[in-house]
Structure 1
Amino acid sequence: MPFCRIEVIDHVAIVTLEHATMPPAFFAELTSTMQEVSEHPDVRAVLLKSQAKAFSYGLDLPAAFNELGPHLTSGGTAGPRMQLLALIRKLQGAFNAVSACPVPVVAAIHGWCIGGGLDLAAACDIRLCTADARFSLRETKIAMVADLGSLQRLPPIIGQGHTRELAFTGKDVPATRAREIGLVNDVFSDVEALLAGARALCSEIAANPPLAVRGVKQVLGYGEGKTVAEGLEYVAAWNSAFLASEDLGEALSSFMEKRPPRYSGR
């Protein structure tokens, strides 16, 4: 059964999750989906949403334990341990593909966003949600250490203190608290308003010069964990290489001619 669906409208790729849980097969399909989106020449922003009852309940535990069971028994030799390590890295690769998408990814979250769902949301650039959204870094409650990205990606988003509180407790966080701590940028009344807001945001991003937007994401990504001096050196080199473009000329021409710009991505 399919897990993801792609639709490209006006330079925005809408990636729809078809189900609220994540069986092992989901991760391979998400990886290929994000690779397809990343290589699409007309895509300037991505809207990630779910058509299910909730954004995501996280890992499909029965399906996961059916596949992982042989690796989770106590004891064992180095061989099964290495196999489990390889499997975890494969699952991590799906959310890495979201994070590595060269254009901004906006997550539209409704209902529950638990465990793997939060890992996925954290891999996106911007998160929006409905007023009924609930977030939980739930793995600790089921005797696991979250290993798909939340512990690494959340600290730069919400800080160490909030990340540790969520991870140590596994508590449920309502939308209002999620906005207070910076986990989401905005909260909408319902799904219809959420999707309208997310589409508007993606359209606003897509209206900008696409090479410049990609450059901003690249520079921001490089700067994580670096000093200000290192970040400045990188962006200086980036602009020295990529500042000159047809879009830069179009930006100047449209300003002088007092008309809306028409960016081509060249």
Structure 2
Amino acid sequence: MTLVSLKVDKSGGDTPDHVATVTLLGPGKGNAMGPDFWRELPQVFAELDSDPQVRAIVLTGSGANFSYGLDLPAMMPSWGSMLAGDSLAGPRTRFLTEIRALQDAVTSVARCRKPVIAAVSGWCIGGGVDVVAAADIRLASADARFSVREVKVAIVADLGSLQRLAGIIGEGHVRELAYTGKDIPAARAQQIGLVNDVYDDQAAVLAAAHALAAEIAANPPLVVQGTKDVLNHAREQQVADGLRYVSAWNAAFLPSRDLGEAVQAFLERRPPSFSGE
């Protein structure tokens, strides 16, 4: 499989330990998630799911950051007709299909039978939070920063954060993060349960993630997979219902003057001015 936005390493070092590493590459700045990422993510996790030599997965970002989230400039060409305020059923239906494809890409991480440990350094914004929320366990370096930032760009978060984070950090914390779009540091993320542990730097968090993955991989693989299946059973059905609802909501209501203003302000590198229209 030729990949552009992801790198997969199954080497396991000198002594194979049944741990695969998936690294976000971009190519957008800060590993921003463009069309290549959304196409490749489900392919990679389906392949790892079916590989009997892989028993656990570490997911991380290249460079200083995990991900800046959705690559808006790269995604805009396919969204142009939907953003028109007078878009009719055809464009809205196509946009609904696209939202659900992106949702399925994130869900491929949760659906993978092998436990996934996210090792987060630097920024983890928007779509980055969606992806790490779909992982089984999250670890962070001290410089990590998290933000459910969709509200800042006039979008209802629709790729899984609103559905999965409640079971991780609780309703109150989800609502605070989603309503404000604020950034929180690694220490706050650990305090609210978004990450299990915080390490000094990127090298330390990667080492810890690999050690934890190897510890998991040393256990009977079918039992570990069965445990994940049982833990996911009730939650993922509820998540699926929530994803269908928010995708229909955004296909109906996302086009707005505020969204156009958010995109224009982003491209012009200025603060947006929202009107509620």
TM-score of the aligned structures, taking structure 1 as reference length:
0.83
- 4+ residue runs over 6 A deviation: none
Match of 1:3 among 5, 9, 15: 5
Output the CA distance in 2 between the equivalents of 1:224 and 1:90: 20
Q: Is this contact kept in 1: 2:18–2:55, CA < 8 A?
A: yes
Q: Is this contact kept in 2: 1:17–1:52, CA < 8 A?
A: no
Query: RCO higher in 1 or 2 (8 Å CA, sep ≥ 6)?
Result: 2
Match of 1:135 among 146, 164, 167: 146
Output the CA distance in 2 between the equivalents of 1:66 and 1:82: 16
Q: Which residue of 2 aligns with 1:178?
A: 189
Q: How many aligned positions are there?
A: 226
Match of 1:18 among 9, 20, 25: 25
Alpha-carbon distance change, 14 to 92 in structure 1, aligned in 2, over 3 angstroms: same
Match of 1:48 among 56, 59, 80: 59
Match of 2:137 among 107, 126, 133: 126
CA-to-aligned-CA distance 1:125-163 (integer Å, 9 cap, x gap): 000000010000000011000000000000000000000
Gaps of 5+ in 2: 238-277
Gaps of 5+ in 1: 227-266
Output the CA distance in 1 between the equivalents of 2:236 and 2:111: 16
Q: Is this contact kept in 2: 1:175–1:187, CA < 8 A?
A: yes
Equivalent AA in structure 2 for residue 11 of structure 1: H
Output the CA distance in 2 between the equivalents of 1:87 and 1:40: 28
Equivalent AA in structure 2 for residue 15 of structure 1: V
Q: Which residue of 2 aligns with 1:246?
A: none
CA-to-aligned-CA distance 1:44-84 (integer Å, 9 cap, x gap): 10000111321000001111122212211101211111000
Q: Is this contact kept in 1: 2:81–2:87, CA < 8 A?
A: no
Output the CA distance in 1 between the equivalents of 2:224 and 2:166: 24
TM-score of the aligned structures, taking structure 2 as reference length:
0.80
Equivalent AA in structure 2 for residue 136 of structure 1: S
Identical pairs, percent: 54
Shift of residue 24, structure 1, vs aligned partner: 2.0
Equivalent AA in structure 2 for residue 62 of structure 1: P
Equivalent AA in structure 1 for residue 232 of structure 2: G
Match of 1:198 among 209, 220, 225: 209
TM alignment of 1:103-114, pairs within 5 A: 103-114=114-125
Alpha-carbon distance change, 83 to 62 in structure 1, aligned in 2, over 3 angstroms: same
CA-to-aligned-CA distance 1:219-249 (integer Å, 9 cap, x gap): 11114389xxxxxxxxxxxxxxxxxxxxxxx
Q: CA RMSD in A?
A: 1.2
Alpha-carbon distance change, 165 to 3 in structure 1, aligned in 2, over 3 angstroms: same
CA-to-aligned-CA distance 1:6-55 (integer Å, 9 cap, x gap): 11122011111112100122101111011111111111100001113210
Q: Which has the larger radius of gyration?
A: 1
Q: Is this contact kept in 2: 1:106–1:202, CA < 8 A?
A: yes
* Residues 69-78 or 118-127, more deviating: 69-78
Alpha-carbon distance change, 91 to 11 in structure 1, aligned in 2, over 3 angstroms: same
Shift of residue 175, structure 1, vs aligned partner: 0.4
Q: Which residue of 2 aligns with 1:156?
A: 167
Q: Is this contact kept in 1: 2:103–2:159, CA < 8 A?
A: yes
Match of 2:230 among 200, 219, 231: 219
SS at match of 2:165: helix
SS at match of 1:127: strand
